[in-house]
Amino acid sequence: MVRKLWLFVAVSVLLGLLCGFAVRPDSGNGLFSWSGGAIEEDGRQALFDRMDAAGLTVLYQYFSDDYSRSYIRGFLQDAADRGIQVYYLTGAPEWALDPEGEEMLAQVSRAARINRKLPEQARLRGVLMDTEPYLTDGWEGNEDETLACFTQAMEKVYESAAESGLECMLCIPFYYDNDVQLGRLAALIKCCDSLAIMNYSKYKEAEQIAAEVALAGDRPVTVIYELQEPGSHGLKESNTYYGEGLEGVRESFQNLEAIFDREGFSFALHDYEALKELEEHE
């Protein structure tokens, strides 16, 4: 097999012998949602129904500052009543440039405050940091330095999340190992409880995430699939499952499961608006 898959096998076997794989409780496949309308009282039922139809039990939801904590708590309770686990989805590229991680820490604090008046089963499971420094102007030519700064911030975020009883989930693209030193990527991945990989290229799906999955060690890994239409956000046919639909996603993930053969392995769809459009397209 290719070198990256050999790396995965070697590292994962060693880690498996040492400590086994950790399994996220109630681990399931998920959905990203940046839509504010999804949490509105007249929109959440449609969201939950679509998730149920697609067999999804985990929601990564963005919560605008327009919504009060009490309103968000109502949404979380409704989600819990439908058996859906919710993560607090947040992030902006420029946040990675602050080694103190002030904005990310503020988001962790907000999630913790939301949880305070909720029963355990309805609480936010964790915080998913979708912070993408490669979208900043200074990324090219400064990749290692920028990721080092981001890692400093994530160390603080990881600690704060743990103190707040929240899982810290890190979202990364599949190609960091092509842009930075592998040791730098390993240091970043250590700053989370679970890893989400944006696997947005259909032709080397296992090879291109093998190093990331290996570096994750016993952390749960979620493979993210793009569903948005080609042409939007610079996407090409090779980047999205818009044409293949959910059947194509499931077939791909089954192949990855067979290759990596690990616990704590799931997929997520990006995103809710694209899923709705896909239903219309089909």
pLDDT of residue 282: 66
Q: Which CATH number fits domain 3-7+30-281: 3.20.20.80, 3.40.50.620, 3.20.20.70, 3.40.50.20?
A: 3.20.20.80
Going by C-beta distance under 8 Å and a sequence separation of 6 or more, which residues neighbour residue 75? 39, 44
pLDDT tier, 243 (very low <50, low <70, confident <90, very high otherwise): very high
pLDDT of residue 160: 98
Give the C-alpha distances (Å, rounded to integers) separating 97 from 101, 110, 142, 169: 8, 21, 12, 19
The interaxial angle of helices 245-260 and 3-19, nearest 10 deg, is: 60
Q: Give the ranges where 43-175 is alpha helix by DSSP (H).
A: 44-54, 69-81, 102-115, 143-163
pLDDT of residue 14: 41
Please compute Rg for the chain using Cα positions.
Answer: 18
Angle ∠(187,150,164) on CA atoms, nearest 5: 85
Asked whether residue 95 carries a pLDDT value surpassing 90, the answer given is: yes
Asked whether residue 123 carries a pLDDT value surpassing 50, the answer given is: yes
- Are the C-beta atoms of residues 153 and 95 closer than 8 Å to each other? yes
- Rounded CA-CA distance 238/136 in Å is 24
Flag whether the pTM goes above 0.85. yes
Give the C-alpha distances (Å, rounded to integers) separating 208 from 81, 88, 139, 204: 38, 27, 21, 6
pLDDT of residue 20: 36
pLDDT tens, 137-163? 999 999 999 999 999 999 999 999 999
Amino acid at 269: L
pLDDT of residue 25: 44
pLDDT of residue 280: 79
Region 37-47: what's the mean pLDDT? 96
pLDDT tens, 157-194? 999 999 999 999 999 999 999 999 999 999 999 999 99
pLDDT of residue 279: 85
Region 61-83: what's the mean pLDDT? 98
Residue with tokens 């194509």: 248
Q: Of all residues in the chain, what percent carry a pLDDT higher than 90?
A: 88
pLDDT of residue 27: 66
**What are 197's strand-pairing partners?**
172, 223
